[in-house]
Structure 1
Amino acid sequence: MSEPCYCCSGKPFPQCCEIYLTGKAYPNTAESLMRSRYSAYVTGNLPYLRKSWHPDTCPELSAEDLQTRWSRLEIVKSKQGLKKSIVEFRAWFIDEGEERPLHEISLFKLNRKRWVYVEPLSDWP
């Protein structure tokens, strides 16, 4: 039996985010991209994070950006659009032995026919 996916979808990792992280497929919704990006942070997949970030907003990423110990992902809500989408989530991490949430409302856009992460929003538009 395969390990459950890091993104907390309930699916096995090979049938969920692994197909995206290995390049066998690309997410067709903003929510599936969000889930795969979370799994990329957990597994330390910097190339995937760069590829799934909008080129205009992607910062310089290094191995230091992957030091956080992530524990689980909770999708609060998502709104899928034709050219832009929004996903609100809580990504839980371990800090000094305690689980803490990172809460974000994220903007995703289609870029060259692929969903990419653009930036955090201050609130639902």
Structure 2
Amino acid sequence: MTDSPCPCGTGKPFDRCCGLYLSGKAYPQSAEALMRSRYTAYVMGNLPYLRQTWHPDTRPELSAEDLNTEWTRLEVVRSKQGLKRSVVEFRAWFRDGDSERALHEISLFKLHKKRWVYVEPLSEWP
């Protein structure tokens, strides 16, 4: 998959985009980059990465069954980067039978041990 476009939608090759994060060679330096890499982890079924990038206070038990969705594309609606807390609004499109549907979420990210982690969905844009 190294020469293929990254599933996160940046248009960059996977190995120069989210592949760096999923392989452990680098860690995302912004909440948006983390969110994009988490989407890619869902696409590729990378449970260890999803666990690692989820805040320990809100992280659920995850299993392979949580990865049964066929994700098709990602759209970042807007992103607000802060120093210790950031918010990203996105739509993650997935296959539902013969149609395509979207998960729309406003996500909260925080710095935890000097790394961005996903915390939880928000009910509205702050």
Structure 2 gaps of 5+ residues are: none
Which runs of structure 2 are paired with 1:27-66 in the superposition (5 Å)? Answer: 27-66=28-67
Alpha-carbon distance in 2 for matches of 1:41, 1:59: 15
Q: Distance in 1 between matches of 2:13 and 2:98?
A: 27
* 1:81 aligned residue: 82
Aligned to 1:25: 26
TM-score, length of structure 1 as denominator length: 0.99
Q: Secondary structure at the match of 2:100?
A: strand
1:108 aligned counterpart, secondary structure: strand
The CA deviation string for residues 2-42 of structure 1, in whole angstroms up to 9 with x for no partner, is 10000001101000000000100000000000000000000
One-letter code aligned to 1:57: T
Q: List, as ranges, runs of 4+ consecutive aligned residues in structure 1 with deviation greater than 6 Å.
A: none
Cα offset, 1:97, TM superposition: 1.6
Q: CA deviation at 1:54?
A: 0.1
User: What RMSD in Å do the two structures reach over aligned CA positions?
Assistant: 0.8
How far residue 47 of structure 1 moved from its aligned partner, in angstroms, is: 0.2
Cα deviation 1:78-123 (Å, max 9, x = unaligned): 0000000000000000001211000000000000000000000000
**Unpaired segments ≥5 residues, structure 1:** none
- Mapped to 1, the partners of 2:34 and 2:99 lie a distance apart of 27
Q: Distance in 2 between matches of 1:84 and 1:77?
A: 15
Cα displacement string for residues 41-86 of structure 1 (whole angstroms, at most 9, x for unaligned residues): 0000000000000000000000000000000000000000000000
Length-normalised TM-score, structure 2? 0.98
- Residue aligning to 1:121: 122
% identical aligned pairs: 73
